Structure 1
Amino acid sequence: MELVDQVTLQLKTIHLEDTDISEYIVGIVEDESLEEDEKREAISEFLAETTDESTDTIIDTILSQWKTIQHNLEKEESDRKTQQIEKAQALEKERLMKAEKEREELARLAAETASAKQLSKEQKLQRDRLRQQYGEMDEGSNDDDLMVNQNAALIQEKERLRREEMKKQNEKEKERNKMLLDKQRQQKLDKDAENKKKGPKKDRKRI
């Protein structure tokens, strides 16, 4: 329920049902330049001109409801930022796991390629021995080795590019998380500073 609706309900208890009055009181309550005592006094003086009923209780209730609304809004904002950070961390973890699987797959392919290359050499030696034995011409004997070398080079280059891309993405994620945390810390510092400023003002008013 919005504050204006809550104010309207409170005013009904002293037989005041006027939207303009409700909105005027809400304007006082939401005025950040006024201390709570100043808001209380302004509302009390305004209502005294419109009713003879006692207004202390409903003013206390209205100000209490406003504090609850503000607290809930601050908590929602804090939870939202926390969820953003947790989501970013989860995505980063998922990305790293995926990258690790890709590296393992590339390593497996490289091992298979190396094994195939070794087998190709053994087969070539066996073929050369047979050709020497039977006097056959050795034609195109280097074709297989050339293809294997090219495949191995492509795999190594792909792995290098993937490592560079993952490093860039990791740096971006770290920077974004750092910015979110710094922003949250700064907002807390600003709020603490604002509360400290309001403290002396209240003390001067009581004096």
Structure 2
Amino acid sequence: MDLVDQVTKQLQTIKLEDEDIAEYIVGIVQDDTIEDEEKREVIGGFLAETTDEPTDTLIGTLLMKWKTMQQDQEKLALDRKAQQVEEAQALEKERLRKSEKERERLAELAAETAAAKQLSKEQRLQRDRLRQQYDDVDTGTRDHELTVNQNAALIQEKEKARRDDLKKQSEKDKERNKMLLDKQKQQKLDKDAENKKKSAKKERKRG
């Protein structure tokens, strides 16, 4: 309930229901340049012109309620300010935590970099030897594969030459066998012809 409602409610107790009167009294009550005693006199004199009801208690109640409302507002402002300070402190704490974490990370990274740069000569030589071994193994593997491929090609070439020789030899054998067979046939024909001649001579002698 705001101050206007408070004043309106108090004025109803002395049978006054005028919004303009309520707003006028609120203006006086809220004026921080006027002392409370002077406020009592001004408000009392104003109400005396509008009502015959006693107003001292009413005025005292209004001033007390306004003071209570001011205290509540001040407390609320202080609480709000304290909350803002607390939130700001929490944000700053989180910022510092992140900053410290980042600093530690950078320190670790710097230490790792420094350690990497401090490899001893022997460590570098050992590393180079290992790399050379891997390179030799890789080169040996490639050389072996090349040799295997070359051997396979040579074997295929020899096998092809052997098949060609066998084919040529087979053709020669066929040709030779054909010639022998033809010769044998011719010899048989010649022999048969000679036998016929001999038989014919014998027949003529008998006759």
- Please say which of residues 104-113 and 13-22 is displaced more in the overlay: 104-113
Partner residue in 2 for 1:93: 93
The offset of 1:35, in angstroms, is 0.9
Partner residue in 1 for 2:64: 64
In structure 2, give the amino acid aligned to 1:100. Answer: E
Partner residue in 2 for 1:191: none
In structure 1, give the amino acid aligned to 2:43. Answer: I
The gaps in structure 2 that reach 5 residues or longer are 137-207
In structure 2, give the amino acid aligned to 1:84. Answer: Q
- TM-score, normalised by the number of residues in structure 2: 0.57
Partner residue in 2 for 1:124: 124
Larger of the two Rg values belongs to structure = 2
Separation (CA, whole Å) in 2 of partners of 1:126 and 1:31 = 90
Separation (CA, whole Å) in 1 of partners of 2:130 and 2:52 = 119
Separation (CA, whole Å) in 2 of partners of 1:83 and 1:130 = 64
The offset of 1:129, in angstroms, is 6.3
Partner residue in 2 for 1:162: none
* Sequence identity (%): 71
In structure 2, give the amino acid aligned to 1:82. Answer: A
Shift in CA distance, 112/127, structure 1 to aligned 2, threshold 3 Å: closer
CA deviations on 1:110-155 (whole Å, 9 max, x unpaired) are 23333334458555312566899xxx9xxxxxxxxxxxxxxxxxxx
CA deviations on 1:63-106 (whole Å, 9 max, x unpaired) are 10110111112222222222222222221111111111111112
In structure 1, give the amino acid aligned to 2:27. Answer: G
Give the alignment's Cα RMSD to 1 decimal: 2.6
The offset of 1:37, in angstroms, is 0.7
In structure 1, give the amino acid aligned to 2:10. Answer: Q
Shift in CA distance, 98/121, structure 1 to aligned 2, threshold 3 Å: farther
Correspondence 1:102-121 to 2 at 5 A: 102-119=102-119
The offset of 1:29, in angstroms, is 0.8
The gaps in structure 1 that reach 5 residues or longer are 137-207
Partner residue in 1 for 2:11: 11
Partner residue in 1 for 2:31: 31
Shift in CA distance, 128/103, structure 1 to aligned 2, threshold 3 Å: same
Give the aligned length: 133
- Please say which of residues 122-131 and 80-89 is displaced more in the overlay: 122-131
The offset of 1:34, in angstroms, is 1.3
- Please say which of residues 68-77 and 12-21 is displaced more in the overlay: 68-77
The offset of 1:27, in angstroms, is 1.1
